[in-house]
Structure 1
């Protein structure tokens, strides 16, 4: 938690050599500081704003003293939000042009911190933005320093037009005449030195503030337990998150009605979410949350589980970190690491734990080994497979833990090999030179001009995060204006480095390999897997010898094209056929689906398969509407009614059709249909005799659907069909 006070002093005197007014720079620095705090602040962090040099006076200390004049507490301590930026950017805000003592402003800020935080654990900071052009009263200087040290207040002075401390101290030692501004600046240097603060010139401060900073996160343990080595060794450990992905802020849903309304005061735009559940069959029936159960898919079926069954199916585990074994570090593939990285340390208050863990870490380091362990964060949590690597630095020793994948987590891809062509020595040297010209280990320069590493992970920030907050701030201040382009500092961090040497090396590679753009050829149409003509299939196999057979899976062969409706997945086969854009299989699909429905109903044991047959009727009707085949479907539905309604064995199927209200296709669904909506609604009740009844199928053994694809009525079973199934083309 932190309490920060920002003191802004009106800076009207601007040296002629400065292109930008001090006040404009101060406002920019203030806005960037607020933006950084909005990005990084925790909910408990608070901020206050104090203005000096104002025409009015408004602070607690001025009420009992003639000092502390022209100082206004613009904002008391409160949570950090966009109101701070709105306040300072208000065009009607009067900053004033009076003189004020900056030391008095620091005392006012210190008094506010005492009243707000005394006896509480807070980080206290004061930021003073000033040109030190006002008077400075050094009375009580020692008391001020003592109070600030007692509260451990961190003071940062951002100076405008400040001389260096060495220059001012030299002038003082030589007893040279100093202007009031120089005297004030020297007083600031003395105060900062006494309280271990810092003075930053405004240009340096803006440069520091414009650099990206990672969010300061409070150090919190994610796991406290024992590291188990065998059954006899238990080392108390603490675990902390070392690195984890920081996600971009998510947008909340707001009310556009509230935003546009002029009658609502103190608009929050917040909306309340109310979720209701309805049954899929009856949309009007509301299902209460207490009546919901979890269900898992098993094929196309939802299998429900209540709470007790859900608990029974969960794996019972115990909290802990248990060593399974050790492997050489070289056997661990870093590309397999999953999720966040954790640091495992010993219990800070148990000396035995510190000695034990340190010995364990050094032993692993000397053996160049890492440990494989089973990690369970809390009781009944899913176990994870992790690796523990020794990490030894001068300031700390710990184990670095990364999560390893299980077999189900790994995706094993195979890729075709590259063509094996010999590379000339000239080409090899050109590649070496090109890669060397882009070496990041020497791409940057330090203060002395020596080469240094560029894009270190700890110094490389996600510019997208700061760009989001920059856009949000712009929208708050200017809701009706288009967003500005990204700041130059952001663009610089996301732009590739310009290297003349790398460009020359790339040009050399281009000339050596004669690289040209190759247009991608369109892939030929896939060969139709199953031919209805046996002779055509036999011709395609001419000249094929048994030794030429290659391995080819059945699934790969079938996936070429669906050409008939089978019993395994009739709906999927039917939809694939009517959506086929290479061949017109609509009529065939409708005919075979119609026959398949009759077959399913007649071979059903009681009403066991009625639901599946009914789903097929629905799919057939939907496809008929899609393909404008309304007449064929209507005739077929009439046959179903004539055959099954009132039947001793299969009347139950017609009752299912009736319950689902599957009726004729009317002119509303297909414009060319001759069936009116009234005829459609009466169909399920009226008797019709126009269609001949469907004969019930005789009880015959069902042939395998896959074999049927290869059997011709004239030729019977043919061995070549089986060969093709195994992979002949």
Structure 2
């Protein structure tokens, strides 16, 4: 069970907190509330019932607390009693945390009130108790009872944190010039209170800087397997080894929070607001199953889910397997964890590990299992080997192959588990070697323009040394794994937390700590300039001109002349052919369609020929789909579509491509391309080869919504 925690925030809202000082653009209160909102939003984000919070306002216009009758507790208001804080409470707090019209109110009295509230709520139960005081240190503070208050805080194991606006802190390196005498005395008194109670005393600037580091949610690991790790069969052999183990996740994939769908309720919004009800409601998904039926309206008939049978996709065919037949195909397995053998660790490639990592530890309070697992882990470590095991999580579950590697340090001796692939999970790709060039005749070339020279290798080695992220003197790592955070996760989470408190306005910029790993450190860039220049010279690197987007329809061939000065089209031109005048016709060979289409569009002559080329390409694509045996020609047809789409985008002829796509879709719907070709259209949809919309090309008249609707095959 997660540990319970109770926190109280004492927030100074006095009149002096409305001032803007030290070059800041917000008031002292708004500056401090950045820290408060972040802390409270993190508590709400965890959703734990065991995290309870109370909020006290110091130097408020009114007085509202259970100790006000005793005297000395004036202008202190309990804004929220200790309770679980949820979104409604969080969003209501900004209405109360506003600067008042008075500077009267004793901070030490507010601390006493906070201690009393904590002790009444926690009683003798096991709680982590925290008390935060956030103030600018102005106003009156009575220091007479500091020793007694500090003793009470220490005795009840309350963790006190005092954060002050523009407080002097030699460790942080800040000292306020021309500090008022009253504030100086208050700072000394508060610092004494912290020292006597073993608390934390800091300046708000340092706390705000600490907010740049993302909040990491602590997750309590949950066991995913309890059983025995076996080496040999104990039922057959006396020498078999069995170790009682527990399996926990070691590294898990964390995904960003998902969005929920809501719709407006049926009632009128004005009436809902008057009633105080939530105008939104959850979206509930409803599924319907249809089959083709020429007699039914629209050509499809709804079928109840109970009448459906399970089918497995085999090409473009759904193969039905009955439940009795499917039971035969299932492997009869029983929960177990068995070591199959051992292999040298050097023979295991890192790319073979699949999925997440788990950790195997000995069963709790089982010394025999702890000694046995420790012996196994140390034996594997000393001989440099790993174990290959067969793991079945529960009865009738699919077996998995795992690699068990030893992990030994000062605190733990255990095994790290990684999933291994089966033979069908591997894809073998062959690439040409990087250190030599093989000619068509089989000759091996050790020297070639595509192979690095000794000078290039030396320059590259020097450049890599200069870009090392580990300081050679201090051995300090610039981007240690514990200092690198996921920009995706924490950007979304920070946006959610900010919007929870500030429903309107612009989101704050991304944290600098998230952006740092996106580019090399500036000192390394400066340090490696010389080695980089040497590498560029040794490798003869040339800058490639950027690809022109939205090029002119009829380009000047002189401006498109390649860097080498070699005109390939002129070399391929037939003797006696005259390219000075426009061509009257164009013929694209279906067997060499893509190269010829691209060659024509390197210098198109006029609109009529462009349209003719697209029409011919459309017919070739339709023919490829029509004559395709299964999906054998689909990839080629998709590639042709992509080429036409790209050329039409660059030449701003989106209407020609869109006309071709309307014709193609119409023939697929009517099954005029050799039968049912819906699988081809599914590829078109997945690869987003639909219409060119107005956001992709300015001369397109198709909206983004219409382009998305076009991809749905049932839409006309």
**Do the structures match in fold with TM over 0.5?**
yes
Q: 1:313 to 1:69 in 2, by over 3 A?
A: farther
C-alpha deviations, 1:700-722, integer Å up to 9, x for none? xxxxxxxxxxxxxxxxxxxxxxx
1:329 Cα shift? 1.3
C-alpha change, 1:245 and 1:576, in structure 2 (3 Å) is closer
Where does residue 321 of structure 1 map in the other structure? 337
Contact kept? 1:431, 1:509, Cα under 8 Å: yes
Equivalent positions of 1:236-247 (< 5 A) are 236-247=244-255
Cα displacement string for residues 323-360 of structure 1 (whole angstroms, at most 9, x for unaligned residues): 11111111111122222122221123111111111111
CA contact (8 A) 1:52 1:102 kept: yes
**Paired residue for 1:255?**
263
Q: Which is further off, 320-329 or 84-93? A: 84-93
For residues 290 and 431 of structure 1, what CA distance do their matches in structure 2 show?
66
- RMSD, aligned CA: 4.3
Q: 1:622 aligns with which of 661, 671, 674?
A: 671
Q: Kindly indicate whether the alpha-carbon contact (under 8 Å) linking 2:291 and 2:303 is maintained by their aligned counterparts in 1.
A: no
CA distance in 2, matches of 1:235, 1:417: 47
Q: CA deviation at 1:417?
A: 3.1
**Corresponding residue number in structure 1 for 2:23:** 19
Partner of 1:56: 62
Instruction: Name 1:226's counterpart in structure 2.
Output: 228
Change (3 A) 1:13 1:451: farther
Contact 1:322 1:375 in 2 (8 A): yes
Q: Does 2:413 align with 1:397?
A: yes
Q: Distance in 2 between matches of 1:206 and 1:11?
A: 20
SS, match of residue 275 in structure 1: coil
Larger deviation, residues 461-470 vs 285-294: 285-294
Structure 1 residues 621 and 360, CA gap change in structure 2 (3 angstroms): closer
Distance 1:65 1:579, change over 3 A: closer
Report whether the alignment pairs 1:416 with 2:404.
no
| Partners of 1:353 and 1:574 in 2: CA distance | 58
Matched, 1:429 2:458: yes
1:193-217 superposed Cα distances (whole Å, 9 cap, x missing partner): 4544322221211122221242211
**Shift of residue 222 of structure 1?**
2.5
Contact (CA 8 Å) 2:484, 2:514: kept in 1 or not?
no
Identify the residue that residue 648 of structure 2 maps to in structure 1: none
1:506 maps to: 532
Asked if the contact 1:321–1:375 (Cα under 8 Å) also holds between the matched residues in 2, the reply is: yes
TM (normalized to structure 2)?
0.66
Q: Aligned to 1:322, what secondary structure does the other structure show?
A: strand
> Retained in 2: the 8 A contact 1:213–1:461?
no
Between the aligned partners of 2:155 and 2:322, the Cα distance in structure 1 is: 62
The 2-side partners of 1:573 and 1:334 are apart by 37
For residue 103 of structure 1, report the CA deviation from its aligned partner.
Answer: 3.2
Deviation at 1:438, TM superposition (A): 1.0
* Residue 630 of structure 1: aligned partner: none
Native 8 Å contact 2:452 2:539 kept in 1: no
What displacement does 1:92 show?
A: 8.9
Per-residue deviation, 1:461: 0.6
Is 1:383 the counterpart of 2:399 in the alignment?
yes
Match among 195, 198, 204 for residue 202 of structure 1: 204
Tell me the distance in 2 between the aligned counterparts of 1:361 and 1:259.
Answer: 65
Q: Is the 8 A contact 1:32 1:210 kept in 2?
A: no
Instruction: Return the alpha-carbon distance in structure 2 between the equivalents of residues 260 and 375 of structure 1.
Output: 58
Partner of 1:276: 287
**1:463, 1:494 within 8 Å by CA — same for their partners in 2?**
no
Shift of 1:190: 4.1
- Does residue 354 (structure 1) correspond to residue 351 (structure 2)? The answer is no
CA apart distance, 1:513? 1.9
Structure 1 CA distance for aligned equivalents of residues 528 and 632 of structure 2: 55
Kept in 2: contact 1:341–1:400 (CA 8 A) = yes
Matched, 1:468 2:492: yes
Larger mean CA deviation between 410-419 and 82-91 belongs to 82-91
In structure 2, relative to structure 1, the CA distance for the partners of 1:8 and 1:578 (3 Å cut) is: closer
Aligned 8 A contact 1:341 1:402 in 2: yes
| TM superposition shift of 1:491 | 3.6
SS for the counterpart of 1:255 is strand
User: What SS class does the counterpart of residue 429 from structure 1 fall into?
Assistant: helix
Q: Distance in 2 between matches of 1:571 and 1:396?
A: 54
Q: What is the Cα deviation at residue 80 of structure 1?
A: 4.1
**How far has the Cα of 1:82 moved from its partner?**
4.5
Deviation at 1:26, TM superposition (A): 0.6
2:280 is paired with a residue whose SS is coil
Q: What SS does the aligned partner of 2:404 have?
A: strand
3-state SS in 1 of match to 2:271? coil
* Aligned residue runs from structure 1 range 286-301, under 5 A: 286-301=302-317
After superposition, residues 536-615 of structure 1 pair within 5 angstroms as: 569=629
Alignment-derived partner of residue 102 in structure 2? 97
Equivalenced residue count is 544
Displacement of 1:500 in angstroms is: 0.4
Shift of 1:272: 3.7
CA distance in 2, matches of 1:574, 1:439: 47
User: 2:51: which partner in 1?
Assistant: 45
Paired position in structure 2 for 1:604: none
The corresponding residue for 1:454 is 478
Structure 1 partner of 2:678: none
Distance 1:575 1:396 in 2: 53
Residues 562 and 573 of structure 1 are in contact (CA less than 8 Å); yes or no, is this contact kept in structure 2?
no
TM-score by length of 1: 0.65
d(CA) in 1 for partners of 2:325 and 2:126?
Answer: 48
